Amino acid sequence: MTDPAAVARLTEDLTAGLKTGDLEDFYRDLHRHPELSFQEHRTAARLAARLRAAGFTVTEGVGRTGVVGVLANGDGPVVWLRGDMDALPVREATGLPYASTVDGVMHACGHDCHVTWLAGAAEALAAGRAAWSGTLVAVGQPAEEAGGGAGVMAADGVHARFPYPDVVFGQHVVPGRTGCYSHTPGLIMSASDGVEVVVPGVGGHGSRPESTVDPVVTAAHIVTRLQTVVSREVAAKDSAVLTVGQFHAGTKSNIIPAEARLALNLRSQDDRVRERILTAVRRIVEGECQAAGCPVPPDITVVPGYPNTVNDAALDREIAAVHRELFGADSVFDFGPEMGSEDFSLLAPPGVPYDYWYVTSTPHEVWETVPGETDAERFGNVPDNHSPFFAPDLSVLAPGVRTLVSAALSRLTA
């Protein structure tokens, strides 16, 4: 059993010399130069350089653009720390002096924080290696946002090519008053699936709709009908989200197109609920197309995305206890399962325990001025991940390093 107080003291010793100015400079550089999924060449090179300088044996190009650094330090457990590296196709609107210099691309989900935390934790643990024994593996993961980078790394043999993990740790920056750390034992994030739908029609001139089968109207009926799936076919006790994120049809206002395309996103926390929703989607799409007289059946393709993220409950409780010792009892809370999704769990081989938590990052001056009398009300009114206004406070960089360092030390042999 981990001694939370002892781990916290050792963490404070190993991170006492953190150079916050250096961390901030590194973070600002990453933020200025965001890269999309599987395009993280510059980011990967920057991370790899810091790991090498700290004494890690580094391999680049794992899972296309991933980075793996290994620091063998005697007998003991193998601990993996993960930081994802990719940005989003979002045009930044923060007005920050270090805002993105890449038009239409932004670190709107905070992965620049994650890379900074990973680099800082790896350096602190390497500098303090006399205090622990085991093997530390730092994983810079590509393409969390769109490409399933963790799965690609696994397919590229990351578990066979590098020391096999005894435990895997990760964390994510989120909105909320700075100085809080959310731990959830068990289910913490939902599964995600995509559904691509092609609605067939009969195209023609806009002046003669009677000679066509308009797929735009059919698709519009489908979109409207889909809004009843969660509200009328999923039990109130179950959590699910069904979103129509894309609707594409037509090229000109006076042309009725021959097809319309929809892209759906499904979030679920239970396999039975997932199957019920997918069955309803198929029934609705096929039924509306039949009612409209479409010339052929619709094409419906389910694109599996990410599985549920389920923390090892005992491990999460231990790491939460360590973080309470580090940051204060009131700083750690259980936010509960959420509908967001991640591929982090794919980095942990079956049977290997993992733990994933959140670090809040909204500047106090912002938090105190947003509408709402309670923290829960304010939470819904601050810029969230994927917002063009998302801007984590720089004060979270050093604590985010300490959360990772302390998690690693909880398992590495003293």
Residue 371: CB atoms within 10 A of its CB come to 9
Annotated binding residue 183:
no
323 annotated to bind ligand: no
Q: Where does 128-174 have alpha helices with state H?
A: 149-155, 158-161
> What is the pairing mode between strands 167-177 and 78-84?
parallel
Distance of CA 271 to the CA centre of its chain: 21
Collect all residues with Cβ–Cβ distance below 8 Å to 351 and sequence separation of at least 6. none
107 annotated ligand-binding residue: no
Q: What DSSP letter does each residue of 2-66 carry, written as one string? A: --HHHHHHHHHHHHTT--HHHHHHHHHHHHHS---TT--HHHHHHHHHHHHHTT-EEEEEETTTE
159 is in an annotated binding site: no
Written as one letter, the residue type at 363 is P
Q: Is 172 annotated as a binding residue?
A: yes
- Give every CB contact of residue 284 below 8 A, 6+ residues apart in sequence: 222, 225, 226, 229
Binding-site residues from annotation for Mn(2+): 109, 111, 145, 172, 386
Binding-site residues from annotation: 109, 111, 145, 172, 386
